Amino acid sequence: MELTDELNSMDSLKWMVISCPYCGERLDVSVDCSVDYQQYIEDCQVCCRPMELSVSVDEHNEARVNVRHENE
Ligand SMILES: [Zn+2]
């Protein structure tokens, strides 16, 4: 089974490191770089509180992730 081929074909998915705005823990999130801008809620894997993630992708295909408290 060729798992690497499968992973390479999904090159619009990137792993980013963020910090939880509640507990400060570092978390890995997968980001879909085929979308210019997206916003979604993801629960922290450590403290389980909902974070609002906004992901923007620039013209060099570099993703930026902003993390905020859900209620801000
Ligand atoms: Zn947390």
Helix and strand numbers (H, E) in the chain are 1, 5
Whether 33 and 15 have beta carbons less than 8 Å apart is answered as no
Q: In this predicted model, what pLDDT tens digit does every residue of 14-66 receive, in sequence order?
A: 999 999 999 999 999 999 988 999 999 999 999 999 999 999 999 888 899 99
Enclosing H/E stretch for 31: strand 26-32
CA 3–ligand 1 middle distance (angstroms): 31
CA 39–ligand 1 middle distance (angstroms): 18
Q: Which residues surround ligand 1, an ion (CB under 5 A)?
A: 20, 22-23, 44, 46-47
pTM: 0.75
Listed by start position, the domains of the chain span 36-72
10: helix, coil or strand?
coil
CA 20–ligand 1 middle distance (angstroms): 5
d(CA 20, CA 3): 31
In this prediction, residue 16 carries a pLDDT of 93
Whether 37 and 58 have beta carbons less than 8 Å apart is answered as no
